[in-house]
Amino acid sequence: MYAVVEIAGKQYRAEKGATIRVDRLEAEKGASLSLDKVLLLSGDAVKVGSPYVAGAVVKAVVQDEVKGDKVVVFKYKPKKDYRRKQGHRQPYTLLKVEEIVG
The C-alpha angle 10, 21, 41, rounded to 5 degrees, equals: 55
Answer for the pair 100, 3: CB distance below 8 angstroms, yes or no.
yes
DSSP lists the bridge partners of residue 14 as 3
Query: Residue 58 burial by CB count (10 A; 0-12/13-18/19+): exposed, middle or buried?
Result: buried
Q: 3-state SS of the chain: helix, strand, coil percent to 5?
A: 0, 70, 30
Q: pTM above 0.75?
A: yes
pLDDT tens, per residue, the chain with 102 residues = 899 999 999 999 999 999 999 999 999 999 999 999 999 999 889 999 889 999 999 999 999 999 999 999 999 999 999 999 999 999 999 999 999 997
